[in-house]
Amino acid sequence: MFNVDQLWKSRFTQYVNDTRRYLKYMFNDHLVIVMIFLLSGLALAYQNWLEIVPPDFPYALLMGAILALLITRGSIHTFLKDPDLVFLLPLEEKLKPYIKKSFLYSIVLESYFLLLVFGVSVPLFFTLTDATFTSLLAILLLLLGMKSWNLWMTWLVNFYTDRKVRLSDWWVRLALNFTLLFLVFSEASLLFIGVVVAVMILLLVYFQKASRKMNWKWDLLIENETKRMQLFYRVANLFVDVPGLKEKVKRRRWLDFILSLTPYAKEKSFDYLYLRTFLRSGDYFGLYLRLLIIGCVLLLTLPVGYATYLVPILVLYLTGFQLIPMWRHHYNKLWLSIYPVQEEHRVKAFTKMIVSILLSQVIILAVLVAFIATWTELSIVLIGGILFSYLYVQAVVKRKIASLK
């Protein structure tokens, strides 16, 4: 006898156990200490900045854009797997309670990060406006309602096979979310706010009726769930080997000129291999870009001072630390052992690449510092970044490589 509640419970339990197993490696003592120092420094800088923030700071525009993106993204966590396309397809009508439970769980999980980001901005919100705790509570309830609306809209639009419909829906929801939040934070007239809410309700009613006779797009649902888990596995793989990780390769033709800089020689075999791995395989290059962008944003938003020195060091540390697993990216490929190249060339190629990657970040961040700080601070960032990159590779990366051999 098929029990839908038991199915959801077993899938959810398996998901929790799987994620918990990797989280204990990700949040180790080493990383927690770094995060404590980072958050303490950012909290102090944030507190000092609140004392000098200009009254005309575009809070409504900034938080409207950030929260709108967080609210729009995401979908219902269905925990579906590839075999379900065969075994659960005939039971689609009986799985409505399953989706309801997944919907409630998704609201809790997605809203946690949403409210966390908004909570960080609450001191700024009270500094710039005359808001009360009652209005704050109303905004919190509004955010929860908007997140629920977006999750259910995403579920309904997934009934459509045309990708253009889903893409258009995403942009329409983003525009509506931003407009509503901007009006609320700007303390606009309730009439305008009501018009946007009415449009959102009408959209929900329309798609609810239009998708009533449609069947689930099982391929799409399973693909979305697989992508979600693979994203988590890629992050976890930065700390520990993940057997369930599927390698993903991106062509990135526009980066081919970097590969051409490697000389054609037997001793440079691993130089070319690891550089090509960084640019095309896994999520290494994406990680590099994301950390670099985060560093640039922090330098532009935080006041010039201690943060100007700490942010580049933090970016370099996180980049170097999370690129170390690339050393074992090809560990299961036997043909590496027949390379007519000595092991010392492999170690040298890998460490040289890590140093080059970190130095490129130092240069980009230093150029940004040149526009917002003095020459003295620029010199400290540049020289300190170069020294940190070299010492980190010599003291940490090489020791970690020796332990991974």
* pLDDT at residue 239, rounded to an integer: 65
Whether the Cβ atoms of residue 185 and residue 59 lie closer than 8 Å to each other = yes
pTM of the model: 0.70
245 secondary structure, DSSP code: P
Amino acid at 181: L
Rounded to 5°, the CA angle 146-15-73 comes to 25
**For each successive 10 residues of the chain (405 residues), what is the average pLDDT?**
81 88 70 69 74 82 89 88 81 85 90 88 83 86 93 90 86 94 88 92 91 84 84 70 64 65 70 77 77 84 76 86 77 67 76 89 90 84 90 85 70
pLDDT given at position 404: 63
3-class DSSP state for residue 107? helix
Strand partners for 248: none
Please report the pLDDT score of residue 120 as a whole number: 86
Report pLDDT digits (tens) over 255-264: 666 666 776 7
For 13, the 3-state DSSP assignment is helix
> For residue 110, with 0-12 CB atoms within 10 Å meaning exposed, 13-18 middle and 19 or more buried, which class applies?
buried
Q: At what angle do helices 306-323 and 29-50 cross, to 10 degrees?
A: 150
